[in-house]
Amino acid sequence: MDIRIGKLEDRQYDTKPIWEQALVAIAETNTVMLAGFDEFRRQLESINARLNSIEIRFDSLETRFDSMETRFDSMKTRFDSMETRFDSMETKFDSMEVQSGSWVQYPPHELGKWFTRGGA
């Protein structure tokens, strides 16, 4: 039995340098990985800052577009009102035309005849 234990101890000493090297390699890998994660984290923070800046700009543009839309709606309302007034004026002029028979009448002593919309 002592011989078997001795052989196991000999094997343990044979693999000890391999395990020590493996542990050193694992520690080095961990150091490199942590440094890589730190760099990745810094890059993500930079990207997030840029995205936040872009989001603020888009919010500003959206506010401007909303303001423009409000102004255009106001202009449309004004133009609709003007169109209604013009239609009313046209109706009044048409009514005047029917009553008088012409758009413009010139007195005979100025032109010697009456002009109608259709000509002389």
Domain ranges of the chain: 2-91
Average pLDDT over residues 32-59: 97
Is residue 98 within 8 A of residue 116, CB to CB? The reply is no
Q: What pLDDT score was predicted for residue 19?
A: 87
Mean pLDDT taken over the chain = 82
Q: What is the pTM of this model?
A: 0.47
Q: What pLDDT score was predicted for residue 7?
A: 65
Q: Is the pLDDT of residue 10 over 80?
A: no
Cα–Cα distance for residue pair 34/42, rounded to 1 Å:
12
CA 68 remoteness from chain centre: 15
Q: What pLDDT score was predicted for residue 111?
A: 47
CA 44 remoteness from chain centre: 22
CA 26 remoteness from chain centre: 48
Is the backbone of residue 105 left (phi > 0), alpha (psi -120 to 50) or beta? beta
Cα–Cα distance for residue pair 58/64, rounded to 1 Å:
10
